[in-house]
Structure 1
């Protein structure tokens, strides 16, 4: 917030006439009244804005909350961007053993945060693969390519948080867009998701897929 202080100081000469001094005093009285009125008006506007921005607390009990339709892995919405006044979205992600999480991608509109509740999480960060465990936290910032998956033999449960509302809108749109497009192959489905991601400022870069993650992203063998 920028604070702008408007004001001026006028110095009247000792030789100023009494009439001029009276006029100055009258103008000062009017300006003082206007300042009080402006301050009262500003206080009223601030109170109205506070009332407008007020939002209630939210408690989400274990195994409750809104399930998000998602083709990748189970997702539970804990706090929407609307409920946080557009500042953050919080999810619970469940990744089965040996399963993909996301392809390599770069955000331009949001930062992404992970906190591992159970199991382990493999991530691509700063060009190298890292494994984080229960109680570990990762802040994956916009402008940096990253990805995540579960390369372990046990289920992974984590909190995933993004700033702003754009990623939430993307995630909510994936399943409806795929249903509308009816892609005939995994490659076609990837193209649909890639286009949707680009609309939300997310660039997918499959060429950055690390060898350790690649087997979890391969299409299932033909029956």
Structure 2
């Protein structure tokens, strides 16, 4: 049986997120939920704390910038053209060592993409990249932590 192949051009729909932005290259509904593929640009300081995914694997391919990843006990620095895999149920984090980083993120399965949609805003053009100005307010951090745990099976560890 021949299966239809969906070819999707890079999305021009920008989403402002954590002082940077992303576009969706493949949304979960285009892969029957199997994956999500996102093109992200984030400033230094917008990194998540150490966390673990109950359900998803993630892969990162660095296009521009310099990043450090911790996956379990392994620490690896990436430069443009390098990639890393972060399996589910293994605590991981990344640090942006350059002013900003441009990378592709693959999430399998794709449900966690919904978090990015929920905690970002639509932008009609490419948003400027601006570093965060201090930590998020306690109320927002509490909401974010609760939502990540209950809706997405993500556990955050203290910074």
Q: TM-score, normalised by structure 2?
A: 0.79
Please identify, of 124-133 and 80-89, the stretch whose mean Cα deviation from structure 2 is larger.
124-133
Alignment of 1:189 with 2:111, yes or no, is no
Correspondence for 1:159: 104
Q: Which of residues 11, 15, 18 in structure 2 aligns to 1:71?
A: 18
Number of aligned residues: 144
Compared CA separation, residues 72 and 197, structure 1 to 2 (3 A)? farther
1:74 is displaced (CA, Å) by 1.3
Partner of 1:25: none
Q: Does 1:91 align with 2:42?
A: no
Residues 1:70 and 1:146: Cα distance change in structure 2 (over 3 Å): same
Indicate conservation of the 8 Å contact 1:116/1:133, yes or no: yes
State the 1:57 CA deviation: 1.4
3-state SS in 2 of match to 1:106? strand
Residues 131-155 of structure 1 show CA distances to partners (whole Å, capped at 9, x for unaligned) of 2111111000000011112122x43
Higher strand share: 2
What TM-score, normalized by structure 1, do the two folds share?
A: 0.58
Distance 2:19 2:89 in 1: 23
Unaligned runs of 5+ in 2: 122-135
Separation of aligned partners in 2, 1:65 and 1:78: 9
Distance apart, 1:103 and its partner CA: 1.7
Q: Which has the higher contact order (CA 8 A, sep 6+)?
A: 2
Alignment-derived partner of residue 82 in structure 1: 29
- Alpha-carbon distance in 1 for matches of 2:13, 2:26: 9
Return 5+ residue gaps in structure 1 as ranges. 1-46, 177-184, 210-223
Query: Deviation above 4 Å: which 4+ runs of structure 1?
Result: none
> 1:54: which partner in 2?
4
Q: 1:72 to 1:108 in 2, by over 3 A?
A: farther
Show the counterpart of 1:203: 155
- Greater Cα radius of gyration, structure 1 or 2: 1
Deviations along 1:137-181, one digit per CA (max 9) or x if unpaired, are 1000000011112122x43111011012321112212248xxxxx
CA offset digits 1:91-148 (Å, max 9, x no partner): 111122x322222110011100000111111222223543211111100000001111
Q: Which residue of 2 aligns with 1:37?
A: none
